[in-house]
């Protein structure tokens, strides 16, 4: 590393060598040891800008924002009720599907089976989610 590269890094990463790319830090300290005046001056100039940047307002989270975020977070009760809703939904789904399938089968028994009715029966069974192996809790 030479002084020119040292300056380039200071211009990009600021006046604290500890915040430079890890691979460059050792060589940077070596430059500081060899040319303390010039390298020190380069760092001092970069630190001036760092200090200006640090003077910018550091926004603190408001209580209201924190509360809104916490209120939307998952809670044990919500996790349980989501599971219960899934169970209830699955139960209703199974019941409806069974009733639909029974009705369809009864209808099929009473009338001549046609390709269209077969398709309807399949649609009723598949549409109920009985054959859905994804968990069905969407």
Partner 1 sequence: MPTGGSDPDQELIERIGRGDPAAVQALVARKLPRMLQLAHRMLGDVAEAEDVTQEVFLRAWKQAPTWMPGAARFDTWLHRVALNLCYDRLRRRREVAMAEPPEQIDTGPAADRGLLARDTGLRVAAAMADLPDRQREAVTLCHYQELTNIEAAALMGVSVDALESLLARGRRALRATLVDLRE
Interface ranges with partner 1 (CB under 8 A): 8-9, 11-14, 19, 21-22, 46, 48-50, 52-53, 55-62, 65-66, 68-70, 72-80
Task: Between 70 and 115, name the residue whose CB sits nearer to partner 1.
Answer: 70
Torsion of CA 7, 11, 14, 20, to 10 degrees: -70
DSSP string, 37-71: HHHHHHHHHHHHHHHHHHTS--PPPPHHHHHHHHH
Q: How far is the CB of 132 from partner 1 (least distance, A)?
A: 18
Q: How far is the CB of 76 from partner 1 (least distance, A)?
A: 4
Task: Between 78 and 118, name the residue whose CB sits nearer to partner 1.
Answer: 78
Cβ neighbours of residue 124 closer than 8 Å, sequence gap 6 or more: 97, 100, 101, 104
Tokens 């009864």, residue located: 106
Q: How far is the CB of 64 from partner 1 (least distance, A)?
A: 9
Q: Are 21 and 13 in contact (CB under 8 A)?
A: yes
Task: Between 65 and 98, name the residue whose CB sits nearer to partner 1.
Answer: 65
Q: How far is the CB of 69 from partner 1 (least distance, A)?
A: 4
Task: Between 11 and 132, name the residue whose CB sits nearer to partner 1.
Answer: 11
């Amino acid at each position: 590393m030479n002084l020119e590269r040292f300056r380039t890094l200071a211009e990009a990463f600021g006046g604290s060598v500890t915040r430079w790319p890890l691979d460059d830090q050792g060589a940077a300290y070596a430059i500081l040891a060899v040319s303390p005046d010039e390298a020190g001056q380069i760092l001092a100039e970069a630190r001036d800008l760092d200090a200006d940047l640090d003077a910018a307002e550091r926004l603190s989270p408001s209580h209201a924002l924190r509360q809104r975020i916490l209120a939307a977070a998952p809670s044990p009760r919500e996790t349980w009720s989501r599971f219960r809703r899934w169970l209830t939904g699955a139960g209703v789904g199974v019941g409806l599907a069974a009733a639909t399938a029974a009705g369809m089968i009864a209808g099929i028994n009473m009338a001549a089976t046609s390709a269209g009715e077969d398709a309807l029966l399949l649609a009723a069974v598949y549409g109920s989610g009985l054959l859905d192996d994804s968990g069905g809790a969407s």
